[in-house]
Amino acid sequence: MAEIPMNEGGTTSSGARPREVQIAAWLVLLESFTGLLIGGFEYYMFENELSLLGAVLALVGFWIYTQILKQDLSAWNLAVVFNVIAIFLYAVGSNWPGVGLSVICFLWLINPNTRVHFS
């Protein structure tokens, strides 16, 4: 009996990650780097405790990045709450680049085209 050749298709068995999820993960990662760098710098220069709290919050963002890549619904919920907290905390700590990235990330996460990929 002859075997029928199957077309691989170029995808893995688990499937490729959607572009929206990858962008959301990269936004959270970029926001975390920004929060860590600016928050740490402001704490070092001005001894602002809220900036240090923002830097610690940024460390939590690195963990959220890995959870978003798994496309878990709880990771999406956690990322939305994380961004709402980050917006206010970064604004109080005068981390304006962090505020801007948090707003962009929050708007991207609540976009219906992004939300549909988390189950």
Q: What is the pLDDT of residue 10?
A: 41
Identify the CATH assignment for 19-115 out of 3.40.190, 1.20.120, 1.10.3470, 2.30.29: 1.20.120
Residue 75 vs residues 7, 62, 70, 87: alpha-carbon distances, Å: 34, 12, 8, 18
Q: What is the pLDDT of residue 55?
A: 86
Question: 25: burial class by Cβ within 10 Å (0-12, 13-18, 19+)?
Answer: buried
Confidence of residue 11 (pLDDT cuts 50, 70, 90): very low
Query: Is residue 14 helix, strand or coil?
Result: coil
**Residue type, position 50, single letter:** L
Domain segments of the chain: what residues? 19-115
Share of the chain above pLDDT 90, in %: 66
Length of the chain measured in residues? 119
